[in-house]
């Protein structure tokens, strides 16, 4: 790792590398929370009882870190932008990028009746149009 970026996996040379003994623990990527209302609950824990926004953000960050969540895509609009951006900026075609946030989470959650646009699956579909380079959900 260098500057919090993975530079090699099983490198040929480990000269100068930092070695960390995890004591048999599993090292995995941080999880992504695709949508939650945690921030709202940190800022307004009870109806009309508000903490300062900066304080609420800091508390939400602490809770997320403790749960292994390293990225929060809080708004659904953020997620769809990420899908289209990933397709445009990587080797993944749009269909593969979409599967990352539809079929894969459905399969992981054992929701076998959804996540794909195929015969026999739930028709929980959204229509998206591009407004320039920005995807806009136009129908659910």
Q: What is the pLDDT of residues 93-133, one digit of tens each?
A: 888 888 887 888 878 878 787 777 777 777 777 777 778 87
Rg (CA), the chain: 20
Q: Which residues pair with 131 in a beta bridge?
A: 134
The string of pLDDT tens digits covering residues 26-71 is: 666 666 676 676 777 888 888 889 888 888 888 888 887 777 777 6
Task: Band the pLDDT of 5: cuts 50, 70, 90.
Answer: low
Q: What's the rounded Cα separation, in Å, for the pair 93 and 78? A: 19
Q: Looking at the predicted structure, is the pLDDT value of residue 140 above 70?
A: no
* Residue 54 burial class via C-beta count within 10 angstroms: exposed 0-12, middle 13-18, buried 19 and up: exposed
Q: What's the rounded Cα separation, in Å, for the pair 30 and 37? A: 19
Longest CA–CA span in the chain (Å) reads: 58
- Model pLDDT, residue 85: 87
Tokens of 77: 């609009």
Q: What's the rounded Cα separation, in Å, for the pair 112 and 44? A: 36
């Amino acid at each position: 790792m260098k500057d919090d970026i993975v530079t090699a996996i099983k490198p040929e040379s480990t000269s100068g590398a930092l070695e960390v003994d995890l004591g048999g623990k599993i090292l995995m990527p941080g999880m992504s929370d695709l949508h939650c209302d945690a921030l709202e609950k940190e800022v307004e824990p009870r109806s009309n009882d508000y903490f300062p926004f900066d304080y609420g953000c800091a508390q939400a960050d602490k809770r997320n870190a403790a749960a292994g969540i390293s990225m929060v895509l809080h708004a659904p609009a953020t997620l769809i932008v990420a899908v289209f951006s990933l397709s445009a900026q990587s080797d993944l075609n749009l269909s593969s990028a979409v599967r990352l946030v539809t079929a894969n989470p459905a399969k992981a959650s054992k929701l076998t009746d959804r996540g794909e646009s195929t015969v026999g699956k739930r028709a929980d579909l959204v229509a998206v149009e591009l407004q320039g380079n920005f995807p806009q959900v136009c129908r659910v």
